[in-house]
Amino acid sequence: MSILLDRETRVLVQGITGRVGRAQTRWMLEYGTNIVAGVTPGKGGEEVEGIPVYGSVAEAVTERRAEASVFFVPPAAVKDAARETIKAGIGLIVIVTEHVPVHDVMEIRAFVGDRGVRLLGPTCPGIITPGQAKMGIMPGNMFRPGRIGVISRSGTLSYEICADLAEAGLGQSTAVGMGADPVVFTGMPELMALFEEDPDTDLVVLVGEVGGTQEENAARFIARRMTKPVVAYIAGHNAPEGKRMGHAGAIVQGNMGTAQSKTAALGQAGADVAQYPLEVVKLVQKRLASR
């Protein structure tokens, strides 16, 4: 089993006719993703990798029964594309696009309301259910099927840690890149709740980093509701105070948001926190052995 995405999910690629959209569509298809349509305004009637292109999301939903969408569109187009996609009834949206204005993200979140739509991103590598399907830019060769759920704020760190887990024979049920912007659509606690309810996930790995409060929020969820073991790694312990970091979400506020505060909060909540990436494998093996 998996969360959010499997081999049957009918995927729509927005921005499919662009350079990045074309390349990522090819790689997603090669991995096994069930891509049924693409959308680029004004390009309806074309094909990319044998996939029909439509001029609107509504057409793709009507003609191809698309139910999930991944965005490879410019930052300025994300808000309108998201509103159109939500109105069309798509239930899962993955926004890979970087540099989306924070105010646009907040407007999209408000527009979703109680429609039951799940959005990931922005600035995220996407989601992968190893051996079944992927939406986004995650390199499929670094993952393998298994029973470890992974949630990460960092794309490259998630690749490294999942590759280490895979090499040790510890596959993943689903790996989710949630995005690293100051405001994201779906937070760590919401994703942890999905893994908590998944009967085929035995343990959850959190990959966090300096800045923001996602990991502190996750610690509160672990303490109150999580019954499955959690192993975490927080990047940024040696980040110099006051230094501007690469990710837009790497903002420290008072005593919140430092790697030290996140590590302490997660440890107090009952998670095992690795001091370096490769230690994640050892801690996962230890927790599974003790179950």
Q: Which of 99, 103, 237, 247 is catalytic?
A: 247
Asked if 283 and 289 touch (Cβ cutoff 8 Å), the reply is: no
- Work out the widest C-alpha separation in the chain, in whole angstroms: 57
d(CA 289, CA 199): 18
Whole-Å CA distances, 89 to 19, 83, 115, 122: 27, 10, 9, 20
Whole-Å CA distances, 141 to 28, 70, 129, 145, 177: 12, 20, 12, 11, 16
Say whether 99 is catalytic.
Answer: no
Element (H, E) at 245: none
In degrees and rounded to multiples of 5, residue 237 shows phi and psi of -65, -25
Residues that are catalytic: 247
